[in-house]
Structure 1
C-alpha cells in the first residue's frame, strides 16, 4: 500500500513539473513571437518609397517631379537674367520688323498709327536694354526669333484687310506673351537694373496690348 502511494505521489509530482515547464516555454515563445511579429510588421509594411517620401517631406528635399511646376512655357520667368534680356530683345525685334512690314504693305489709319508706335517704343526699349546688357556683358540678338521669321514670311503673302487683320491679331498675341513674361520675371530677378527696366516698360507694353485689342476689335 505504501509503495502504491509513493508511486502515485511521484507520478503526480512529475506531472506538475512537466506542466509548469510547458507553461513557461509557451509563455516565452508567445512573448518572443509577439515581439518579432511586431518588429517585422513595422519594417515590412512601410515601403521604401514611402519612407523616402516622408524623409523628403521632413527635410524639404522632395524629388524634382514632386516639385514640378506646370506653369512653365512662354509666360514663366526665364531661368537666368541674360536669357531674359535676350528674349526681351527678340520681342522688340519681332514688333519692330513686323510693324515695318506693315508700313511696307501700305496700311492706313489706326493700323498705320499702331505700327509707327510699335517701331518707336520698341526701339527705345532696345536702347534701354542695351545699356544694361553692356554692363553685364550680355550680347543681344538684333533680329526676330525663328517663330516670327516664319510668321513674317506668311504675312508677306497677304495684303489689304487680310494683312491688317493678321497683323493686329499678332500684336495682341505678342503683347500678351510679353506682358506676362515681364511680370513673371520681375518676381524672380534680384537684379536692380532689370527690376527698373521691367517697371519702366511694363506699362508701355500694357498700353500696346490695350491698343492692339481695340484696333483688332475694330477690324472684326
Structure 2
C-alpha cells in the first residue's frame, strides 16, 4: 500500500510539473510574438485604437483641426489686399441682392435685399477715399466665385431661390466678419482701423438678421 501511494504521489508531481512548463512556454511564445510584431512595425494595434476613436495626432494631421469655411480667417497679408477684398464682398452682396429683387422676393427677404444694397453701397463709398489715398484700385464687380454662384441662383425661383439667397448671405457675412476682425488686429493703418470699426457692427447686424430669418 505504501508503494502504491508513493507511486500515485510521484505521478501527480510529474503532471503538475508538465502543466507548469506548458504554461510558461505559452506565455513565452505570446511575449515573443508581441515583441516581434512591435519590431516589425505591425500597426494592427494602432488601427484598433483608431477604430475605437482613439486616433493618434499623426492620423489627424498632427492634431490640427479641419478647416472650417465659416470659421476664423487669417488677415490679408497687406492692407491693399484687404481693401480689394472688402470692396469685392460689397459687390457680392449688392449684386446678389439685386438678383433677389429681380426674382421677385417678397416680405422680409425683399426688405433684407434692399438693406444689403443700401448698406454695402455705403461701405464701398466709405472705403473709396481711403483706397484712393493709398493708390489702391477697388473692384467694381463680384469675384469669380460669386459670379458662378449668381449663375446657379438664376436657375432657381420662388421659395427655393429665397432659401439659397438667405443661406448665401449667412455664409458671406460670416466670412466677411471673420476677415474684418482678423485684419483689425493686424493692420497699423489708422484709416483702416476706423473703417473696420465702423463697418464691423453693420456686418454683424446683417449676419444676425439673416441667421434669424434662415431659422424661421
**Could you tell me the TM-score, scaled by structure 2's length?**
0.67
Q: Which whole-Å CA distance do the structure 1 matches of 2:110 and 2:160 have between them?
A: 15
The 4+ residue runs of structure 1 with deviation greater than 4 A are 70-74
Residue in structure 2 matched with residue 122 of structure 1 by the alignment: 120
- Give the counterpart of 1:98 among 70, 89, 96: 96
Deviation by residue 1:69-89 (Cα, 9 ceiling, x = unmatched): x98987110000000000000
Rg bigger for which structure? Answer: 1
Aligned residue pair count: 150
- What is the Cα-based RMSD across aligned positions, in Å? 1.8
Deviation at 1:180, TM superposition (A): 0.2
**Could you tell me the TM-score, scaled by structure 1's length?**
0.66
Deviation at 1:162, TM superposition (A): 0.2
Q: Which runs of 5+ in 1 are unaligned?
A: 1-69
Residue in structure 1 matched with residue 21 of structure 2 by the alignment: none
1:94–1:187 CA distance, 2 compared to 1 (3 A): same
Q: Which runs of 5+ in 2 are unaligned?
A: 1-65
Q: Which whole-Å CA distance do the structure 1 matches of 2:132 and 2:73 have between them?
A: 25
- Give the counterpart of 1:81 among 79, 82, 86: 79
Please state whether the residue corresponding to 1:150 is helix, strand or coil. helix
Residue in structure 2 matched with residue 181 of structure 1 by the alignment: 179
Please state whether the residue corresponding to 1:187 is helix, strand or coil. helix
Q: Which whole-Å CA distance do the structure 2 matches of 1:133 and 1:72 have between them?
A: 30
The residue correspondences of 1:116-155 to structure 2 (distance < 5 A) are: 116-155=114-153
